[in-house]
Protein backbone atom coordinates (compact mmCIF):
# COMPACT_ATOMS: atom_id res chain seq x y z
CA UNK A 1 0.00 0.00 0.00
CA UNK A 2 1.53 3.33 -1.11
CA UNK A 3 1.86 6.48 0.98
CA UNK A 4 -0.92 8.30 -0.89
CA UNK A 5 -3.36 5.44 -0.39
CA UNK A 6 -2.49 5.20 3.31
CA UNK A 7 -2.99 8.93 3.69
CA UNK A 8 -6.33 9.00 1.86
CA UNK A 9 -7.74 5.84 3.37
CA UNK A 10 -6.67 6.27 6.97
CA UNK A 11 -4.81 9.40 8.00
CA UNK A 12 -7.03 12.07 6.43
CA UNK A 13 -10.35 10.47 7.52
CA UNK A 14 -9.05 9.93 11.05
CA UNK A 15 -7.87 13.51 11.37
CA UNK A 16 -11.17 14.78 9.95
CA UNK A 17 -13.12 12.73 12.51
CA UNK A 18 -10.82 13.95 15.27
CA UNK A 19 -11.23 17.62 14.36
CA UNK A 20 -15.00 17.15 14.14
CA UNK A 21 -15.10 15.80 17.68
CA UNK A 22 -15.50 12.14 16.74
CA UNK A 23 -12.68 10.84 18.88
CA UNK A 24 -13.92 7.25 19.00
CA UNK A 25 -14.27 7.16 15.22
CA UNK A 26 -10.84 8.74 14.81
CA UNK A 27 -9.26 6.12 17.05
CA UNK A 28 -10.97 3.30 15.20
CA UNK A 29 -9.66 4.56 11.86
CA UNK A 30 -6.13 5.06 13.18
CA UNK A 31 -6.10 1.52 14.61
CA UNK A 32 -7.52 0.06 11.40
CA UNK A 33 -4.73 1.85 9.56
CA UNK A 34 -2.04 0.48 11.88
CA UNK A 35 -3.38 -3.03 11.42
CA UNK A 36 -3.73 -2.79 7.63
CA UNK A 37 -0.24 -1.33 7.18
CA UNK A 38 1.52 -3.43 9.83
CA UNK A 39 2.41 -0.36 11.85
CA UNK A 40 3.15 2.29 9.23
CA UNK A 41 5.25 5.10 10.68
CA UNK A 42 3.12 7.94 9.30
CA UNK A 43 -0.07 6.44 10.72
CA UNK A 44 1.73 5.93 14.04
CA UNK A 45 2.90 9.56 14.04
CA UNK A 46 -0.58 10.99 13.55
CA UNK A 47 -2.09 8.52 16.00
CA UNK A 48 0.52 9.55 18.59
CA UNK A 49 -0.42 13.21 18.11
CA UNK A 50 -4.08 12.29 18.53
CA UNK A 51 -3.31 10.39 21.75
CA UNK A 52 -1.27 13.31 23.04
CA UNK A 53 -4.22 15.64 22.44
CA UNK A 54 -6.40 13.29 24.52
CA UNK A 55 -3.95 13.40 27.43
CA UNK A 56 -2.96 9.73 26.96
CA UNK A 57 0.73 10.46 27.26
CA UNK A 58 2.06 6.97 27.91
CA UNK A 59 0.24 5.61 24.85
CA UNK A 60 1.38 8.62 22.80
CA UNK A 61 4.98 7.95 23.81
CA UNK A 62 4.78 4.37 22.52
CA UNK A 63 3.54 5.44 19.10
CA UNK A 64 5.95 8.36 18.80
CA UNK A 65 8.72 5.82 19.44
CA UNK A 66 7.28 3.56 16.74
CA UNK A 67 7.10 6.50 14.32
CA UNK A 68 10.72 7.51 15.01
CA UNK A 69 11.78 3.93 14.30
CA UNK A 70 9.83 3.46 11.06
CA UNK A 71 9.53 6.83 9.31
CA UNK A 72 12.00 7.13 6.42
CA UNK A 73 11.67 10.86 5.60
CA UNK A 74 13.71 13.21 7.81
CA UNK A 75 11.00 15.86 8.20
CA UNK A 76 8.47 13.36 9.54
CA UNK A 77 11.05 11.58 11.66
CA UNK A 78 11.97 14.95 13.18
CA UNK A 79 8.29 15.67 13.87
CA UNK A 80 8.01 12.31 15.63
CA UNK A 81 11.18 12.94 17.62
CA UNK A 82 9.89 16.35 18.71
CA UNK A 83 6.61 14.75 19.76
CA UNK A 84 8.46 12.09 21.72
CA UNK A 85 10.52 14.72 23.54
CA UNK A 86 7.38 16.75 24.22
CA UNK A 87 5.42 13.93 25.86
CA UNK A 88 8.51 12.76 27.74
CA UNK A 89 8.84 16.22 29.28
CA UNK A 90 5.11 16.27 30.08
CA UNK A 91 5.33 12.87 31.77
CA UNK A 92 8.24 14.05 33.88
CA UNK A 93 6.08 16.87 35.28
CA UNK A 94 3.31 14.56 36.49
CA UNK A 95 2.94 13.41 40.08
CA UNK A 96 5.08 10.36 40.89
CA UNK A 97 2.06 8.06 40.82
CA UNK A 98 1.13 9.30 37.34
CA UNK A 99 4.53 9.40 35.69
CA UNK A 100 6.52 6.54 34.28
CA UNK A 101 8.56 4.73 36.90
CA UNK A 102 12.27 5.29 37.07
CA UNK A 103 14.31 2.74 35.17
CA UNK A 104 14.89 -0.14 37.60
CA UNK A 105 18.15 -1.98 38.08
CA UNK A 106 17.66 -5.25 36.22
CA UNK A 107 19.65 -8.46 36.53
CA UNK A 108 22.26 -8.54 33.71
CA UNK A 109 21.83 -11.33 31.20
CA UNK A 110 18.30 -12.15 32.35
CA UNK A 111 15.45 -12.80 29.93
CA UNK A 112 11.78 -13.00 30.86
CA UNK A 113 9.30 -15.00 28.79
CA UNK A 114 5.67 -14.24 29.59
CA UNK A 115 2.87 -16.38 28.24
CA UNK A 116 0.17 -14.96 26.02
CA UNK A 117 -3.33 -14.98 27.50
CA UNK A 118 -6.87 -15.74 26.44
CA UNK A 119 -8.03 -12.27 27.52
CA UNK A 120 -6.99 -9.64 25.00
CA UNK A 121 -7.85 -6.12 23.92
CA UNK A 122 -10.27 -6.19 21.02
CA UNK A 123 -8.22 -3.94 18.75
CA UNK A 124 -4.77 -3.90 17.22
CA UNK A 125 -2.10 -2.60 19.57
CA UNK A 126 1.31 -3.44 20.99
CA UNK A 127 1.81 -6.81 22.64
CA UNK A 128 2.32 -5.02 25.95
CA UNK A 129 -1.18 -3.57 25.66
CA UNK A 130 -2.92 -6.47 23.88
CA UNK A 131 -2.55 -8.95 26.75
CA UNK A 132 -3.00 -6.38 29.51
CA UNK A 133 -6.64 -7.43 29.86
CA UNK A 134 -5.26 -10.30 31.96
CA UNK A 135 -4.35 -9.60 35.58
CA UNK A 136 -1.88 -12.50 35.47
CA UNK A 137 -0.11 -10.94 32.52
CA UNK A 138 -0.01 -7.49 34.11
CA UNK A 139 1.47 -8.93 37.31
CA UNK A 140 4.12 -10.96 35.46
CA UNK A 141 4.99 -8.02 33.22
CA UNK A 142 5.40 -5.66 36.17
CA UNK A 143 7.81 -8.15 37.72
CA UNK A 144 9.66 -8.55 34.41
CA UNK A 145 9.97 -4.78 33.94
CA UNK A 146 11.52 -4.55 37.40
CA UNK A 147 13.86 -7.52 37.27
CA UNK A 148 14.85 -8.63 33.76
CA UNK A 149 17.22 -7.12 31.25
CA UNK A 150 14.98 -8.17 28.36
CA UNK A 151 11.43 -9.51 28.22
CA UNK A 152 9.20 -11.02 25.56
CA UNK A 153 5.78 -12.57 25.15
CA UNK A 154 5.57 -16.17 24.01
CA UNK A 155 2.50 -16.51 21.82
CA UNK A 156 0.87 -19.74 20.67
CA UNK A 157 0.28 -18.10 17.31
CA UNK A 158 3.30 -15.83 16.82
CA UNK A 159 6.09 -17.48 18.80
CA UNK A 160 8.50 -14.97 20.37
CA UNK A 161 7.00 -11.48 20.41
CA UNK A 162 8.65 -8.18 21.28
CA UNK A 163 6.54 -6.15 23.71
CA UNK A 164 6.42 -3.24 21.25
CA UNK A 165 5.26 -5.38 18.32
CA UNK A 166 1.84 -4.51 16.93
CA UNK A 167 -0.62 -7.40 17.00
CA UNK A 168 -4.28 -7.90 16.20
CA UNK A 169 -6.55 -9.94 18.49
CA UNK A 170 -6.53 -13.68 17.77
CA UNK A 171 -7.77 -16.95 19.19
CA UNK A 172 -5.09 -19.64 19.30
CA UNK A 173 -4.04 -21.88 22.18
CA UNK A 174 -1.15 -24.26 22.59
CA UNK A 175 -3.51 -27.11 23.44
CA UNK A 176 -4.90 -26.86 19.90
CA UNK A 177 -1.55 -28.20 18.64
CA UNK A 178 -0.39 -31.79 18.45
CA UNK A 179 2.50 -32.95 20.63
CA UNK A 180 4.91 -32.60 17.68
CA UNK A 181 3.60 -29.13 16.88
CA UNK A 182 4.09 -27.99 20.48
CA UNK A 183 7.68 -29.20 20.45
CA UNK A 184 8.25 -27.46 17.11
CA UNK A 185 6.71 -24.28 18.52
CA UNK A 186 9.07 -24.33 21.51
CA UNK A 187 12.05 -24.96 19.24
CA UNK A 188 10.97 -22.00 17.12
CA UNK A 189 10.90 -19.75 20.20
CA UNK A 190 14.45 -20.84 21.04
CA UNK A 191 15.56 -20.11 17.47
CA UNK A 192 14.00 -16.65 17.68
CA UNK A 193 15.86 -15.97 20.91
CA UNK A 194 19.11 -16.79 19.13
CA UNK A 195 18.17 -14.40 16.32
CA UNK A 196 17.73 -11.74 19.01
CA UNK A 197 21.35 -12.34 20.00
CA UNK A 198 20.43 -14.28 23.15
CA UNK A 199 22.59 -17.33 23.70
CA UNK A 200 22.94 -19.98 26.44
CA UNK A 201 24.90 -17.51 28.59
CA UNK A 202 21.53 -15.89 29.43
CA UNK A 203 19.30 -17.10 32.22
CA UNK A 204 15.69 -17.42 31.11
CA UNK A 205 12.77 -16.97 33.49
CA UNK A 206 9.43 -18.32 32.28
CA UNK A 207 6.10 -16.96 33.53
CA UNK A 208 3.47 -19.24 32.06
CA UNK A 209 0.94 -22.00 32.61
CA UNK A 210 2.31 -25.48 33.18
CA UNK A 211 1.75 -26.49 29.56
CA UNK A 212 3.65 -23.56 28.06
CA UNK A 213 6.43 -23.84 30.65
CA UNK A 214 6.87 -27.57 30.08
CA UNK A 215 7.66 -27.32 26.38
CA UNK A 216 9.64 -24.10 26.59
CA UNK A 217 11.75 -25.28 29.50
CA UNK A 218 12.60 -28.57 27.79
CA UNK A 219 13.57 -26.87 24.51
CA UNK A 220 15.67 -24.21 26.27
CA UNK A 221 17.49 -26.74 28.44
CA UNK A 222 18.28 -28.87 25.39
CA UNK A 223 19.80 -25.75 23.83
CA UNK A 224 21.99 -25.18 26.88
CA UNK A 225 20.08 -22.35 28.58
CA UNK A 226 19.67 -22.03 32.34
CA UNK A 227 15.94 -21.91 33.01
CA UNK A 228 13.66 -21.17 35.93
CA UNK A 229 9.88 -21.29 35.71
CA UNK A 230 7.26 -19.46 37.76
CA UNK A 231 3.61 -20.30 38.15
CA UNK A 232 1.54 -17.73 36.29
CA UNK A 233 -0.62 -17.26 39.41
CA UNK A 234 2.27 -16.64 41.79
CA UNK A 235 2.95 -13.42 43.66
CA UNK A 236 6.65 -12.78 43.10
CA UNK A 237 9.46 -10.77 44.64
CA UNK A 238 12.95 -10.02 43.26
CA UNK A 239 14.58 -12.42 45.72
CA UNK A 240 12.64 -15.24 44.04
CA UNK A 241 15.06 -15.00 41.11
CA UNK A 242 17.84 -16.74 43.00
CA UNK A 243 18.18 -20.41 42.03
CA UNK A 244 16.55 -22.96 44.30
Of the two residues 91 and 60, the one the predictor is more confident about is 60
Q: For residue 244, what pLDDT is reported?
A: 37
Query: How confident is the model at residue 108, as a pLDDT?
Result: 83
Distance CA 19, CA 6 (A): 19
Q: What is the pLDDT of residues 38-58, one digit of tens each?
A: 889 999 999 999 988 888 888
Mean pLDDT, residues 15-40 taken together: 89
Please tell me the distance from the alpha carbon of residue 212 to that of residue 217, in angstroms, as a whole number. Answer: 8
pLDDT band at 95 (very low <50, low <70, confident <90, very high): very low
pLDDT tens readout for residues 143-186: 888 889 899 999 999 999 998 888 888 999 998 999 999 999 99
Q: Is 0.75 topped by the overall pTM?
A: no
Q: How confident is the model at residue 77 (pLDDT cuts 50, 70, 90)?
A: very high
Domains (range + CATH), the chain = 3-92 (1.25.40.10), 107-241 (3.40.50)
From the list 146, 182, 150, the residue with the least C-alpha distance to 163 is 150
Q: Is the pLDDT of residue 187 over 70?
A: yes
Burial class of 102 by CB neighbour count within 10 A (0 to 12, 13 to 18, 19+): exposed
**In this prediction, what percent of the chain has a pLDDT beyond 70?**
91
Amino acid sequence: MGWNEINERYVRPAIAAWKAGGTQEAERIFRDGLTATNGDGYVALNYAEFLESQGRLLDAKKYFELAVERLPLPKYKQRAQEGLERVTRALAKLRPDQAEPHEPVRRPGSVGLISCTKSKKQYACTARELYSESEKFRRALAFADQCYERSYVVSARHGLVDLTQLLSPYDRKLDQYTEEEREAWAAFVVACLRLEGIGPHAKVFIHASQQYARYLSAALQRAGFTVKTFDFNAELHPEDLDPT
